[in-house]
Amino acid sequence: MDIWVVGTGYVGLVTGLCFAKLGHQVWCIDQDKNKIEALSRGVAPIFEPGIGELIAQVQSQGKVHFSTSFPASVPVDAALIAVGTPPGRDGEADLSQVFNAVDNLALHLPAGTLLATKSTVPVGTAARIRRRLLELGRSDLEVASVPEFLREGSAIEDTLTPHRLVFGVQSASAQNTLERMHSGMNSPVLVCDPATAEMIKYASNAFLATKISFVNEIANICERVGADVSQVSVGMGLDPRIGPSFLRAGLGYGGSCFPKDTRALVNIAGTVNYDFTLLRAVVEVNQRQRMSPLYRLLRWFESLEGVVVTILGVAFKPGTDDTRESPALDLAAHLISHGARVRLVDPVVKTAHVAGQNKPLPVSQDVYEALLDADAAVLVTEWDAFRNLDWTHVKNLMRGPFWFDGRNVLDPEVLEQAGLVLSNIGHKTRSQKIPV
């Protein structure tokens, strides 16, 4: 098949490359000249395991093409919209990129082509797209919703072997086009109407975010009653009705999806006069959870004025260089506003945009250098590189012994043996000095 993918961000790029790998002829179109130039030279604009090799493979097979404009006289069976849907002022999804893409596609797609959204869009967007196409005199295009469920860090595998495919369609021919497009993927398929498909995407992200905020609330109670949240998670997860995933307590969720999509779903509910009380609480709990190291540091130091704090991990999770809605950036901004001197270290992120700073902050790649003369350290992102440090060396480098493990991946006993003091989330603190 011939497929156009509009928007070559995370989702558009990975989707386009994977369809090319499945044997389709793919055009990846993006308005960002630098991105397209880099991709044409085989350079990936994102850090994602396997992406460089995949670009090289499908480029050498002539299966993928990168362009800033819609190709003329090139056949096309389906166009996928994978542009951004960033949050607007009240958390609502800003659909300007989507409708810009729709308007451009309306000028270029031949009659009968399928136009499907991969972007996460509010319920009712497919209907709005159809109305827009009618206004533009393009009642001859099919509209569908095919939400994307990939995770950053395992995006290629998730796209080639997804847990499920959701086809939100209104006609047999649209379903048939999507089936041909995805043939070669051996995944369960749910066929439904576009509005239902759009809701499945938001409901899935909101439910996973709810699990995380729930376990973080349990963790906070564990600290106060002397229970161990890691074991509570294992114990809960052994019940197949609950399942073990997304029960890792920590500094809460970040990234380009959960924070944005939970707020957007609260907003969607509001537009139909429904107060999504539960999801509002999930969002609030997540925001509060990010600040737990700040409160713990304030109890340890009393004042953070001039205190040097090293933050380990700037990406919102390991395996990506994406810093969108990373808890580390929020924490850094709050520590700085309390007078702390913040140092950042991450294996792949090079600079960080921290609110209130007029230029990006540098991010070190050398963890020992970043810990030299630090008064305290906070692990925010559980990169492997931070798990097995030479703790005696760390103790000797640092001015103070205080560590906060925001992802519960460090062994308190090992750190204590080296003379450090470790506080973490959801465990009874071992040091008498750290009040909960």
Ligand X SMILES: O=c1ccn([C@@H]2O[C@H](COP(=O)(O)OP(=O)(O)O[C@H]3O[C@H](CO)[C@@H](O)[C@H](O)[C@H]3O)[C@@H](O)[C@H]2O)c(=O)[nH]1
Provide the annotated binding site for substrate.
149-152, 201, 246-250, 254, 317
**Residue 145: CB minimum distance to ligand X, A:** 14
Report DSSP state, residue 151. Answer: -
The residues, any chain, with a CB within 8 Å of residue 62's CB and separated by 6 or more, are: none
Q: Which of 83, 166, 349, 379 binds ligand NAD (CB under 6 A)?
A: 83
Residue 29 interacting entry, from ligand NAD, ligand X, none, C-beta within 5 to 8 Å by type: ligand NAD
Cα–chain center distance at 230 = 23
Could you tell me which residues are annotated as the binding site for NAD(+)?
30, 35, 85, 120, 152, 260, 324
| Interaction between residue 288 and ligand X (CB under 6 A) | no
* Nearer Cβ to ligand NAD (108/288): 108
| Interaction between residue 205 and ligand X (CB under 6 A) | yes
Please give the Cα distance from 206 to 122 (Å, whole number). Answer: 13
Interacting positions 145-164 with ligand X (CB under 6 A): 148-152
| Amino acid (one-letter) located at 412 | P
Positions marked active-site: 257
What's the longest Cα–Cα distance across the chain? 73
Let me know: does 422 contact 410? Beta carbons within 8 Å. yes
| Interaction between residue 84 and ligand X (CB under 6 A) | no
Please give the Cα distance from 280 to 288 (Å, whole number). Answer: 13
Please give the Cα distance from 178 to 345 (Å, whole number). Answer: 43
Q: Which two tokens stand for residue 148?
A: 């994307």
* Nearer Cβ to ligand X (243/306): 243
| Interaction between residue 263 and ligand X (CB under 6 A) | no
Q: Which two tokens stand for residue 109?
A: 């797609």
What number of other Cβ atoms are within 10 A of residue 435's Cβ?
10
End-to-end CA separation in angstroms for the chain? 59
| Interaction between residue 99 and ligand X (CB under 6 A) | no
Residue 246 interacting entry, from ligand X, ligand NAD, none, C-beta within 5 to 8 Å by type: ligand X
Let me know: does 403 contact 377? Beta carbons within 8 Å. yes
Task: Give the CA-trace dihedral at 229, 230, 235, 237, to 10 degrees.
Answer: 110
| Interaction between residue 148 and ligand NAD (CB under 6 A) | yes
Residue 223 interacting entry, from ligand X, ligand NAD, none, C-beta within 5 to 8 Å by type: none
* Nearer Cβ to ligand X (254/347): 254
- Residue 281's SS3 state is helix
| Interaction between residue 248 and ligand X (CB under 6 A) | yes
| Interaction between residue 150 and ligand NAD (CB under 6 A) | yes
Q: Indicate the pairing of strand 376-379 with strand 351-352.
A: unpaired
Residue 159 interacting entry, from ligand X, ligand NAD, none, C-beta within 5 to 8 Å by type: none
| Interaction between residue 30 and ligand NAD (CB under 6 A) | yes
Site residues for ligand NAD per CB under 6 A? 6-12, 29-32, 35, 82-85, 97, 100-101, 119-120, 148, 150, 152, 256-257
Site residues for ligand X per CB under 6 A? 120, 148-152, 205, 208, 212, 246-248, 250, 252-255, 257-258, 316-317
